[in-house]
Amino acid sequence: MSPEEKQSVVNCRQLVKRFGDLCAVNGISFNVPKGICFGILGPNGAGKTTTLRMLLGQSPRSGGALEVFGEDIDSARKRIRQRTGIVPQADNLDPDFTVAENLSMYGSYFRLDHQTVQKRIPELLSMVELLARADDRIGTLSGGMKRRLTLARALINDPDLLVLDEPTTGLDPQARHMIWSLVHKLKRDGRTILLTTHYMEEAERLCDELIIVDSGRLIAQGSPNALIAEHCESDVLEIRGLTHELDQKGLAQNFRWELSGDSAYLYSDDSHALLEYAASHNEATALHRKTGLEDVFLRLTGRGLRG
């Protein structure tokens, strides 16, 4: 084991999960260094959540090696969970309790002492801006508030590792930006963050390093910028609302291009060439921009729809 791996919070090798004949995770290996935000990206059904569940010991793995905080998940599950906070994809706050009671109840499952929990509750609630709602029932909260409370709940045990499973799915832009700034703050506090998402903007903003998985396999790994540099040209011209056939032969000589519905995507490292093309073909809306993670993602996982 290299010194780098010793410092890693999560280390998995050839992780496999089978459900009957279905292989949901098929030999994924990665390493999450301490103190970074690590992303797991992939289309729906790629095996992201299954991977997280194995990391947390909530689902036994079918094969491979898996260590969290340097310990095997099977033998040290309790110790690992004591240091981990989880924001699941679906809200599972306890509807029988108030906002503050949800936190104290959760603390009791960690067997934290009462005073510590009572001290942390107002701190956490003010951090997620829910202090004023402390005595309200869960049913009265909006989706964004529930998500913030779930994040606060995941911090009740002051975890070293925070796992966020699609933390901003279904949230409005305000709530999403708030979650993002909280994630930044938590990272600054020195916590390691592991998150899954299928929002590429989110991954570009938050993740220091990420993997892209598809159909249970790891297909790319690196920092957002490195992945863009490795898998994509620097610029893209998006032509929307195509009304007639493009001159495909002419295109192919100059650019790598993709068709999707009534849009075409022309990729090149030469932005001038793209702009010239746009100027000479003004029959449709053309948008020139720098390529991003979304272009990498679509290139690697294809444009076909997923379950």
Partner 1 sequence: MKRYRPPRLRLEALAVWRRNALVWRRLMAASLLLHFGEPLLYLLGIGYGLGRFVGEIDGMAYFTFLASGFIAWSAMNVASMESMWSVYTRMVPQQTYEAILATPAEVDDIVMGELLWCGTKSLVSGSAILAVAALLGAVHDWTALLAIPVIFLTGLCFAAPGLIVTAYARAYEYFNFYMTLFMTPMFILCGVFYPISTLPGPMQTVVQFLPLTHAVAIIRPLVVGAPVENFWLHLGALVLFGTICAWVAAILVRRRLIQ
What is the total count of residues that contact partner 1 (CB under 8 A)?
26
If one asks whether residue 140 binds partner 1 (CB under 8 A), the answer comes out as no
**What residues between 6 and 35 interact with partner 1 by CB under 8 A?**
19
Minimum separation from the CB atom of position 82 to partner 1 (A): 5
Q: Are the CB atoms for 270 and 225 separated by under 8 Å? A: no
The answer to whether 218 and 46 are in contact (CB under 8 A) is no
Rounded to a whole number of angstroms, the minimum distance from the CB of residue 150 to partner 1 is: 9
Lay out the site mask for partner 1 across 85-104 (x = CB under 8 A, - = otherwise). Answer: -x-x-x-xxxxxx---x---
User: Rule CB under 8 A: is residue 167 a binding residue for partner 1?
Assistant: no
Pairing of strands 22-33, 285-290: unpaired
Per rule CB under 8 A, is residue 132 in the interface with partner 1? no
Q: Checking DSSP bridges between strand 8-19 and strand 63-68, what pairing results, if any? A: antiparallel
Instruction: Give the binding range for partner 1 (CB under 8 A) out of 84-92, 254-262, 268-276, 287-295.
Output: 84-92
Measured distance CA(49)–CA(88) in Å, rounded: 9
The β-bridge relationship of strands 192-197 and 37-41 is parallel
Pure H helices in 110-247 = 114-127, 143-154, 173-188, 200-206, 224-231
Tokens of 104: 């104290």
Closest distance of CB 232 from partner 1, Å = 37
**Which range touches partner 1 (CB under 8 A), out of 53-61, 119-127, 189-197, 292-300?**
53-61
Instruction: Kindly state whether residue 219 participates in binding partner 1, applying the rule CB under 8 A.
Output: no
Provide, rounded to whole angstroms, the least separation between the CB of residue 160 and partner 1: 14
Rounded alpha-carbon distances, angstroms, from residue 266 to 123, 224, 253, 289: 50, 21, 12, 11
Phi–psi pair at 71, nearest 5 degrees: -120, 150
Q: Which of 7, 109, 287, 290 binds partner 1 (CB under 8 A)?
A: 109
Q: Which residues, 6+ apart, have CB-to-CB distance to 104 below 8 Å?
A: 114, 117, 118, 121
Compute the Cα dihedral for 137, 139, 141, 144 and give only its sign. positive
Residue 59 touching partner 1 (CB under 8 A) = yes
Question: Of residues 4, 5, 6, 60, which one binds partner 1 by CB under 8 A?
Answer: 60
Nearer to partner 1, 104 or 223 (CB): 104
Contact footprint for partner 1 (CB under 8 A): 19, 56, 58-60, 78, 81-82, 84, 86, 88, 90, 92-97, 101, 105-106, 108-111, 157
